[in-house]
Amino acid sequence: AQKVTQAQTEISVVEKEDVTLDCVYETRDTTYYLFWYKQPPSGELVFLIRRNSFDEQNEISGRYSWNFQKSTSSFNFTITASQVVDSAVYFCALSEAGNTDKLIFGTGTRLQVFP
């Protein structure tokens, strides 16, 4: 069965610290997709990144970077030099090819960045 685990319920950091949000997934499919979404206090889910299972290349976008490791079934998200505006709940999600493409979400990690 498919499952996404975000073991960190809440993380608090001070501005300019680096922070890594962990995501571990389970799937039996060989073709699948991983996502990160951000949910700020306003409530809307904002897409951050999509990664497919056959592309393990890590990605960097500004202060954001993602580390995908199939060997450990992990897709971790790092924010470098965090800012107060990064405060939000971050969700990791999985979808399996041919399974309606529905998203299976983790329980989310609440990140609080203090000035």
Partner 1 sequence: GAGVSQSPSNKVTEKGKDVELRCDPISGHTALYWYRQSLGQGLEFLIYFQGNSAPDKSGLPSDRFSAERTGGSVSTLTIQRTQQEDSAVYLCASSLPPGTSSLQETQYFGPGTRLLVL
E-assigned strand segments in 1-108: 3-5, 10-14, 19-21, 24-26, 32-39, 46-52, 59-61, 64-69, 74-79, 88-96, 104-105
CB of 79 to partner 1, least distance (A): 20
CB of 106 to partner 1, least distance (A): 8
In DSSP terms, which residues pair with 95 in a beta bridge?
Answer: 33
CB of 109 to partner 1, least distance (A): 12
Nearer Cβ to partner 1, position 10 or 15?
Answer: 10
Instruction: Give which of 83, 87, 32, 78 is closest to 54, Cα–Cα.
Output: 32
Nearer Cβ to partner 1, position 4 or 113?
Answer: 4
Contact residues toward partner 1 (CB under 8 A) are 33, 35, 37, 42-47, 50, 52, 91, 93, 95, 97, 100-108
